[in-house]
Amino acid sequence: MKQPPTRDDSTARPIRLNRDLLRSIFTTDHHTIGLQYLALALLSVAIGTILSLVMRVHLVWPDWRFPFHGSILPEEYLALLTLHGTVMLFFVLTTAPQAGFGNLILPAQIGSRRMAFPLLNAASFWLTAAALLTLLSSVFVPGGVAISGWTAYPPLSVVASAGPGQGTGMDLWLFSIALFAIATTASSINTLTTIVRSRCDGMTWDRLPLTVWGWFTAALLSILAFSVLLAALLLLFCDRHAGTSFFLPAGNLVNGVLHQGGNGSPLLWLHLFWFFGHPEVYIAILPGMGLTSMLLANFSRRPVFAYRTMITTTLLIGFLGILVWGHHMFVSGLNPFASSAFSLSTIAIALPASAKVISWLATIWRSQPAYTTPMLFSLGFVSLFITGGLTGPILAQPILDQYLNNTFFVVAHFHLIMAMAGIFGLFAATYYWFPLITAALGRPSRLMSEPLGRLHFWSSLAGAYAVFLPMHLTGLAGEPRQYAQLTGIAGVKGALSPAGALLAHTLPLNRHITYSAIFLACAQLIFLVNLVRSLRHGAPASANPWKATTLEWHPLLNPLTPLYASEEQITVHRAPCHYQFTLEQEIILAQWMPDNTEDAKRE
């Protein structure tokens, strides 16, 4: 289905008619859909951050009464953590890199002017928005939000009597995530088809930017993972409402409600969920890894070190990513021999990930790069990826997981590598592609403020480490995650129990973590100010402000230029990140520049 470009008539001039407004909202233009996804992710990340701050404050000052609410009840704390995990993982880390920047940038990076299925694309976004609304609406139903965490382990998630929020709230959670799974599967099919079918002349597979390889692999994983999740959600729904017993054992007794049906197993859910859940973390981080490779190379004015190996490692991470789900189950009733096998596959995935880090280090080695804000965030990504990644092999050893499982050590690990590195990737992307974001909004291309960007970077890096490094220590001390309260945990006789003493001892460090979390969240206000201010008042950007070599900076692919509508053929002549230095100047050999120089032959 061919879509004529509609940008110039719908957004450049003031909107007068409601029909125009509707057309610009329910658009099939991939730039706008990308921006819509990014706006949704920005809203979600704001919600998720506020939720986490409320949790942190409650943990260390349990008696503090929140304005308009009062103090936090245990079930409210669990509702907060369920919402925090669900919103952040699905609606931020899955949507923003893959669907947000994927829509905004991916077609241009392969020399295409559109995604393969524009209507499906728009439908995916609106389904995702409906999923978010459904999830948030559970705040207002009787019993409130589900309290079983983003992993929704049964029987807690099956039986309504298991706790507040496990009735209507849990149904809404199920419905929301099912919608999200459908939307993401559709959007991934769109991404894959676009990459396979819409590459321009000369854009061979080994000339694809690594960001495209990241999107490609993440989309492959999405189709596998989300379809399994959708099936699992359906089974869970049937257990809740159709009297089946996929996840409920016979004789299960929850809060006076006896299950007298068939004999299922909660472990089936764990297998299905983590078969989705582990690939999900690679879906969240692979586009960021690709972008990091490209930005480090661009600002170092060098090709990506071991480019072809990086393509291989991206695919290897994707492949191994579907073979490691059992490492979430070492102490969850998995056969001990199976634990050993999953331990090996998990250690194996550390190798392609290490190869990526080594390539990043080798690319920037003695390059005297330009320290722009996107470059700083890419370096921050590398640092956080290393720090968060190195604890991966520790947790991959079942014997150590036997002590560390579900402690704050794990919380520190996945927040550093997935949440912090993931968010740093998104920040790098935002600062880097901001001229294209403003162009997609129908405004002149602008850059974000560099001084504010640097301030944002350094305060975020310091904040991220100040929050998550100490969590390793409280985890080593034995602090379990998902505890609504650390103080005054009484034993049987009302006195402070040994468990209560263990938890109370972590309070000093926990207070430090909370102060740091408040600092980290406040540092994000710098970003918001910069974002809003730069939309109107940012420095005007040239056509290729970072002197990049990839096609999204091609003059013909900028939606603002009249040439965009020309459908003129675009041809690629070389792999990305080729630069030439003479005594006087550097020459940027962008992918689209014709092959008339003898230097290009070197390739």
Partner 1 sequence: MAKGALILTPGTGWWLPVDASAHGPALDRHLLLNLWITLALLVLAHLIVLIGLSGRRRTALTSVWRNEYLPVVALAVLFSGLTLRAERLWAAIRYTGANPAALQVEVTGVQFAWYFRYPGSDATFGVTKPQLVAPGEGNPLGLDPADPHSADDQVTSQLVLPVGREVDLRLRAQDVIHGLSIPEMRLKQNAIPGETVHLHFTPTLPGTYAILCTQLCGLGHHRMNATLRVLSSDQFDSWLVQQEAMTSGQVASPDTYHGSVSRVR
Residues within window 348-367 making contact with partner 1, judged by CB under 8 A = 350-351, 354-355, 357-359, 361-367
Q: Which is nearer to partner 1, 489 or 587 (CB)?
A: 489
Q: Which is nearer to partner 1, 17 or 492 (CB)?
A: 492
The verdict on 21 binding partner 1 (CB under 8 A) reads no
Q: Quick one: which of 1, 242, 368, 583 contacts partner 1 (CB under 8 A)?
A: 368
Q: Is residue 140 classed exposed, middle or buried when 0-12, 13-18 and 19+ CB atoms within 10 A define those classes?
A: exposed
The verdict on 314 binding partner 1 (CB under 8 A) reads no
How far is it, in rounded angstroms, from Cα 323 to Cα 306? 25
Beta bridge partners of 496: 490
The verdict on 484 binding partner 1 (CB under 8 A) reads yes
Q: How many residues bind partner 1 (CB under 8 A)?
A: 110
Upstream peptide bond of 303 is cis (omega within 30 degrees of 0):
no
- State the CB neighbour count (10 A cutoff) for residue 197: 10
How far is it, in rounded angstroms, from Cα 117 to Cα 428? 28
Radius of gyration of the chain, Cα coordinates, nearest whole angstrom: 25
Upstream peptide bond of 155 is cis (omega within 30 degrees of 0):
yes
DSSP at 248: -
Closest distance to partner 1 from the beta carbon of 334 (Å): 9
Closest distance to partner 1 from the beta carbon of 382 (Å): 7
Closest distance to partner 1 from the beta carbon of 19 (Å): 49
Q: Which is nearer to partner 1, 17 or 258 (CB)?
A: 258
How far is it, in rounded angstroms, from Cα 222 to Cα 104? 19
Of the listed pieces 88-96, 202-210, 494-502, 540-548, which binds partner 1 according to CB under 8 A? Answer: 494-502
Site string for partner 1, 319-338 (x = CB under 8 A): ------------xxx--xx-
Contact call for residues 64 and 108 (beta carbons, < 8 A): no
Q: Which is nearer to partner 1, 402 or 566 (CB)?
A: 402
Q: Which is nearer to partner 1, 306 or 452 (CB)?
A: 306
The verdict on 405 binding partner 1 (CB under 8 A) reads yes
Place of tokens 């965490």: 149
The verdict on 580 binding partner 1 (CB under 8 A) reads no
Where in 74-133 is the site for partner 1 (CB under 8 A)?
Answer: 74-75, 78
The verdict on 474 binding partner 1 (CB under 8 A) reads yes
Contact call for residues 445 and 560 (beta carbons, < 8 A): yes
Q: Which is nearer to partner 1, 260 or 596 (CB)?
A: 260
Contact call for residues 442 and 12 (beta carbons, < 8 A): yes
How far is it, in rounded angstroms, from Cα 494 to Cα 527? 48
Q: Which is nearer to partner 1, 487 or 544 (CB)?
A: 487
Q: φ and ψ at 580, to 5 degrees?
A: -135, 140
How far is it, in rounded angstroms, from Cα 26 to Cα 3? 14
Q: Which is nearer to partner 1, 26 or 365 (CB)?
A: 365
Q: Which is nearer to partner 1, 234 or 502 (CB)?
A: 502
Nearest to 410 by CA among 332, 345, 482: 482
Q: Is residue 268 classed exposed, middle or buried when 0-12, 13-18 and 19+ CB atoms within 10 A define those classes?
A: middle
How far is it, in rounded angstroms, from Cα 371 to Cα 36? 30
Closest distance to partner 1 from the beta carbon of 74 (Å): 5
The token duo for 432 is 């880097």
Q: Quick one: which of 164, 277, 279, 559 contacts partner 1 (CB under 8 A)?
A: 164
Closest distance to partner 1 from the beta carbon of 517 (Å): 17
CA angle, residues 220, 128, 457, in degrees to nearest 5: 80
Contact call for residues 345 and 278 (beta carbons, < 8 A): no
Q: Quick one: which of 477, 518, 521, 587 contacts partner 1 (CB under 8 A)?
A: 477
The verdict on 562 binding partner 1 (CB under 8 A) reads no
The verdict on 70 binding partner 1 (CB under 8 A) reads no
Q: Quick one: which of 198, 227, 497, 544 contacts partner 1 (CB under 8 A)?
A: 497
The verdict on 254 binding partner 1 (CB under 8 A) reads yes
Closest distance to partner 1 from the beta carbon of 464 (Å): 14
Closest distance to partner 1 from the beta carbon of 130 (Å): 27
> How far out from the chain centre does Cα 543 lie?
29
Where in 502-531 is the site for partner 1 (CB under 8 A)?
Answer: 502, 504-509
CA angle, residues 191, 377, 287, in degrees to nearest 5: 15
Q: Is 532 helix (H, G, I), strand (E, B) or coil?
A: helix
The verdict on 277 binding partner 1 (CB under 8 A) reads no
The verdict on 480 binding partner 1 (CB under 8 A) reads yes
Q: Which is nearer to partner 1, 286 or 310 (CB)?
A: 310
Site string for partner 1, 429-468 (x = CB under 8 A): ----------------------------------------
Nearest to 460 by CA among 424, 428, 426: 424
Q: Quick one: which of 485, 544, 571, 580 contacts partner 1 (CB under 8 A)?
A: 485
